[in-house]
Structure 1
Amino acid sequence: MSYPKIIKEAALEKLFHTDLSLRHIADELGIPRATLHTWKRQYQMIKNDSETVETPAESWTPEEKFAVVLESATLSEVELNAYCREKGLFPGQIKTWREACIRGNQPQDKNLRREASYQQHKRKISTLERELKRKEKALAELAALLVLPKKVRCPLGGHRGRLIALAERQRVVSLIREAIQSGARQQQACEVLELSSRTYQRWIKTGVVSDGRVTAIRPTPVNKLSDDERQQILAVCNTPMYSHLPPYQIVPRLADRGIYLASESSFYRILKAANQLTHRGNIRIKAKSSQVRHFTATRPNQVWSWDITYCPSRVIGQHYYLYMIEDIYSRKIVGWEVHDQENGDHAATLLERSVWAEKSVKSQLILHSDNGAPMKSIMLRAKLQELGVVSSYSRPRVSNDNPYSESLFRTVKYHPRWPSEGFANLDDTRLWVKAFVQWYNHDHRHSRIKFVTPQQRHVGEDIKLLKKRQLLYRKMMQLHPARWSTTTRNWQHEPVVELNPKHHKERNVA
């Protein structure tokens, strides 16, 4: 049986240019294996008997194979077959070489991808190992810190600089070292025991020793007051003239008499050491208030502040109403009245009397108040316009925009002679307020105007008085310079007073 030539060529091509076995090719093409053996032997004989000794195609160099691929790339199937016969090749060989060219860079790409994947996995493993070590270290530290408080009866927390016994220091250092060896950090172990890390480092730097402050020999300060001077200060504070006054009132009064014993802070310190600084009276700490409205006074009768407050009677539910006007520059009470009711008519009458008394009609006087009904009544507004007074009001629902009047009423109601049981009647209330105004304007040294009386500042006498105090302090500083760290107390006259100053921290006006 004869086979077509094309089948014979296909069989020989697969036989010599593929990895398929002879049996597999025979079964695939349906050709007996003996026939394939015959074709193979004949082909080999023809190749051996050929006159031209040619290099087998499989022995060609890569450059030659690449040239064949380029030359045959644009050929049709018929032209390719003719080209193969001319070169002694099979179309399958050229196809194999073409695929090899296409796959030429594929092994390198695979290696790069494999290397990149390997590096990525390596980094991931390193990250996981670091995370594992960190968690193991954190667990060890947590265990050490949980055990540490159980070994201490109480932590070392307390006020800064307190003395710690030597035995307690040694025990604490031992416990912290044990916790550090168990995996805890020094900072964390110290925090558990409420001990500063710097304190622990200082203890272990030169060995744990006792606190040197216990056995320290300290020299006597050169500016220390003598025992006689301290006793003199106590004696002055306990005299009938000054026994009811605090040191900040005593010191200016002594200075006005040409006497200087010590600074105000020294008075407080000596009284405290003698256990004579116990709080007296009903005065409470005043909460600071935000300040928004802004007015400036550089002379008396420029800015006034006024308000109304209750004066309790001895009858539950009955009150008297105290109307009071204050000059914020001098802190002088320029007008007051007590009535059994609160209305604008009484306010207008009081304002008119005060303006005429201070000779401030049509002087562009500013009157500041809150938003109460009497303050905004028609009668008072008409009187303000008639007298040429400019009105000013606090912000709605803001109770601390009128600090001078609030401070004045605080001084009134916390005065030692304020009747806690209430006033007997309206006349009794007026008599008490009259005495208070006389004391406040002419005897009370106000802390915000350098401890001069409001009347002295109102008429300008404070300037001369403050200069006298300044000269006295300078003289005493020259006599005992070691008792002043920098300079003498500031007795300078304050030329400007502001109502709710802008862009300043809130200042106490009491």
Structure 2
Amino acid sequence: MPKKKMKYDRAFKENAVKLSYEKSTIIEVADDLGIVPCLLTKWRQEYQKFGTGSFQGSGFPKVHPDNLSCFELEKKHKESELKFEILKNATPYLYQGNLIIYQFIKDNEKKYSITKMCTILEVGIGRYLRWKKYGMPKKQQYVTLLKKDITSIFYNFKKKCGKKQITKELHKRGYEIVEGQVSFYMKGLGLRSVAKRKFKITTDSNHNYYIAPNILNRNFKTDAPSKVWVSDITFIQTNIGFLYLTIIMDLFDRKIIGWSLGCRLFTATTTLPALEMAVKNRTVIEGLIFHSDRGVQYANKAFTKKLNSYQITSSMSRKGNSIDNAVSESFFNSLKRELIHRKSTLITQKLMKSEIFDFIENWYNKKRIHSALGYKTIEQFTAINNLKQE
């Protein structure tokens, strides 16, 4: 039967070392204490190196008391470096739900301590070990996938969508969820759409030109293309002055069918080129109504003559009543919230023109979902209604 290995406490080892310096030989002391001389030699070497910091036992650092402060500082420094390294490697997974974080921990178990990763990533070690053994509960899998889809939708729409749009998009993906739940998860994920800002009115209605009656009368829904076009002008500040954007929208599908961007508020650089583009992009049919505010760019003879040449009927908002042209105002709200106001500094006119083109032609007219179209893109709405793209 093998001999049982003896264990000695710290006090015994310290006394044995001190006694060894009082006796003539190590062998003599070892015989008196009933231990082998080589063990006493080992204890003496440790005591010479670490002093009263010796014989702390497993799990405790061996360090001389005089060096304890430096040791603690080095330990904290190493822990900080390790924490930074783990966080740096885990950053891409932090907001994708527990399932992704658990997988990261599992993939890095050989590199880092499980306890350390769970502590730094604020994951319960018990929950992680249960997931590792049994997998994730169905409810938790559902929530994880839901959060992932909410985040995906938010960033696919360039942070420009709120809870209503995300809820509608989730419904298309098969989720049964209400706006309040989406709002709750968005807050938890730190997702916040760009806030709206007010902008100045550019309408100059102090003129003697003819003012058309308000034929549209806030009837912002039509059942076919080219029944009502609405138009408005806004200003956009750049690093060397202002640009003036004129848009023409077909109320049927909310598509921007004509637009113009220039440095001057002249009719020749605003409403006329926008109208020419609209006529080129969409067929004018009999009875078409063109609605705008009372601005001089819409009321002057040059523009009204051009409308008459296409047999388009003019309609204008009532004085000082921007709600009469609410759809155009809404477009400019979206433009400034989703593009202009997101910039921390003013950019050049050339770059702004390029970004406005991309926003209208590639984003708004193709990829952006519209509440007025049942939370569909213009292209989806066109396909559903079996209309030819114009």
Quickly name the TM-score band, shorter chain normalised: 0.5 to 0.7
The runs of 5 or more residues in structure 2 that have no matched partner are 1-137, 200-214
Matches within 5 A, 1:257-406: 259-265=173-179, 267-268=181-182, 270-271=184-185, 275-276=188-189, 279-283=192-196, 293-295=217-219, 297-315=222-240, 318-346=241-269, 347-360=271-284, 363-406=286-329
Partner of 2:383: 461
Partner of 1:231: 144
Residues 329-363 of structure 1: CA deviation (Å, up to 9, x unaligned):
21111111101101222312321231132021x52
Partner of 1:439: 363
Letter of the structure 1 residue corresponding to residue 164 of structure 2? Y
Matches within 5 A, 1:480-499: none
In 2, the alpha carbon distance for the partners of 1:311 and 1:322 equals: 7
In 1, the alpha carbon distance for the partners of 2:293 and 2:356 equals: 22
TM-score (norm 1): 0.41
Equivalent residues of 2:259, 2:273 under 8 A apart? no
Matched, 1:249 2:172: no
- 1:300 deviation in Å? 1.3
Cα distance 1:302–1:456, how it changes in 2: closer, same or farther (>3 A)?
farther
Cα distance 1:300–1:292, how it changes in 2: closer, same or farther (>3 A)?
closer
* Equivalent residue pairs, number: 227
Equivalent residues of 2:151, 2:191 under 8 A apart? no
Matches within 5 A, 1:29-178: none
In 1, the alpha carbon distance for the partners of 2:216 and 2:306 equals: 26
Equivalent residues of 1:233, 1:267 under 8 A apart? no
Name the SS of the counterpart of 2:286 in structure 1.
coil
Letter of the structure 2 residue corresponding to residue 371 of structure 1? R
**RMSD of equivalent CA atoms:** 2.9
Cα distance 1:293–1:420, how it changes in 2: closer, same or farther (>3 A)?
farther
Name the SS of the counterpart of 2:327 in structure 1.
helix
Name the SS of the counterpart of 2:321 in structure 1.
coil
Partner of 1:184: none
Name the SS of the counterpart of 1:310 in structure 2.
strand
- 1:404 deviation in Å? 0.7
- 1:266 deviation in Å? 5.7
- 1:250 deviation in Å? 3.6
Name the SS of the counterpart of 1:298 in structure 2.
coil
The runs of 5 or more residues in structure 1 that have no matched partner are 1-224, 465-510
Equivalent residues of 1:283, 1:414 under 8 A apart? yes
Cα distance 1:420–1:348, how it changes in 2: closer, same or farther (>3 A)?
same
Equivalent residues of 1:247, 1:264 under 8 A apart? no
In 2, the alpha carbon distance for the partners of 1:353 and 1:441 equals: 15
State the structure with more CA Rg: 1
TM-score (norm 2): 0.52
Equivalent residues of 1:370, 1:402 under 8 A apart? yes
Equivalent residues of 1:338, 1:429 under 8 A apart? no
Identity of aligned residues (%): 22
Partner of 2:127: none
In 1, the alpha carbon distance for the partners of 2:273 and 2:377 equals: 27
Letter of the structure 2 residue corresponding to residue 389 of structure 1? I
In 2, the alpha carbon distance for the partners of 1:403 and 1:338 equals: 21
- 1:232 deviation in Å? 2.2
